[in-house]
Amino acid sequence: MNYIGFQELAATNKWSAIMPELIMVGLAMFILLLDLFLPSARKRAIPLLAVFGQFGILALIILGCGCEAIKGPLFGGMIEQGPYTGYTRAFFVLSSALVCYLGSAYLSRQNLPRSEFYLLTILVSAAMMLLVQANNFVMLFVALETVTIGFYVLVAYCRYNPFSLEAGLKYLIMGALSSAILLFGIVLLYGAASNPGLQHSTTDAMNFTSLGKFIQANPNEPLVLIGAILVLCGVCFKIGAVPFQIWVPDVYQGAPTPVTAFLAVSSKAAGFLVLMNLIAAPFAALGSLTAPLLSAIAIITILFGNLTAIGQRNVKRIIGLSGIAHAGYLLVAVVALTKSPDNALAPWAIIFYLFTYLFASFAVFGVMVHLAGVEDENQEIEHYQKLAERQPFLAGILAIGLGSLAGIPPLAGFIGKVLIFIAAFQAGLYTLLGAAIIGVVISIYYYFGWIREAYFVRPSLPGDEAKQSYPMPGAVGIIHKVTLGVLAIITVVLGLFQQGLIGG
Which residues bind to other proteins, rule: CB under 8 A? 344-345, 348, 392, 396, 399, 403, 408-410, 414-415, 418-419, 421-422, 425-426, 433, 437, 440-441, 444-445, 448-449, 451-452, 455-459, 496-503
CB of 436 within 8 A of CB of 332?
Answer: yes
Q: Which is nearer to other proteins, 31 or 440 (CB)?
A: 440
CB of 350 within 8 A of CB of 272?
Answer: yes
Instruction: Give the 3-state secondary structure of residue 80.
Output: strand
Whole-angstrom distance, CA of residue 81 vs CA of residue 165: 38
Least distance CB 26 / other proteins (angstroms): 35
Whole-angstrom distance, CA of residue 48 vs CA of residue 474: 22
Least distance CB 405 / other proteins (angstroms): 14
DSSP 8-state secondary structure symbol assigned to residue 476: P
Q: Which is nearer to other proteins, 5 or 428 (CB)?
A: 428
Q: Which is nearer to other proteins, 258 or 407 (CB)?
A: 407
Q: Which is nearer to other proteins, 255 or 436 (CB)?
A: 436
Q: Which is nearer to other proteins, 39 or 459 (CB)?
A: 459
Q: Which is nearer to other proteins, 191 or 503 (CB)?
A: 503
Least distance CB 449 / other proteins (angstroms): 7
Assign residue 500 a region: left if phi > 0, alpha if psi is -120 to 50, beta otherwise? left
Least distance CB 314 / other proteins (angstroms): 20
Q: Which of 463, 100, 84 is nearest to 274 (CA)?
A: 84
Least distance CB 336 / other proteins (angstroms): 12
Least distance CB 442 / other proteins (angstroms): 8
CB of 332 within 8 A of CB of 346?
Answer: no
Whole-angstrom distance, CA of residue 100 vs CA of residue 102: 5
Least distance CB 128 / other proteins (angstroms): 26
Q: Distance of alpha carbon 181 from its chain centroid, rounded?
A: 20
Q: Which of 348, 305, 312 is nearest to 328 (CA)?
A: 305
Whole-angstrom distance, CA of residue 224 vs CA of residue 201: 12
CB of 50 within 8 A of CB of 28?
Answer: no
Q: Which is nearer to other proteins, 258 or 495 (CB)?
A: 495
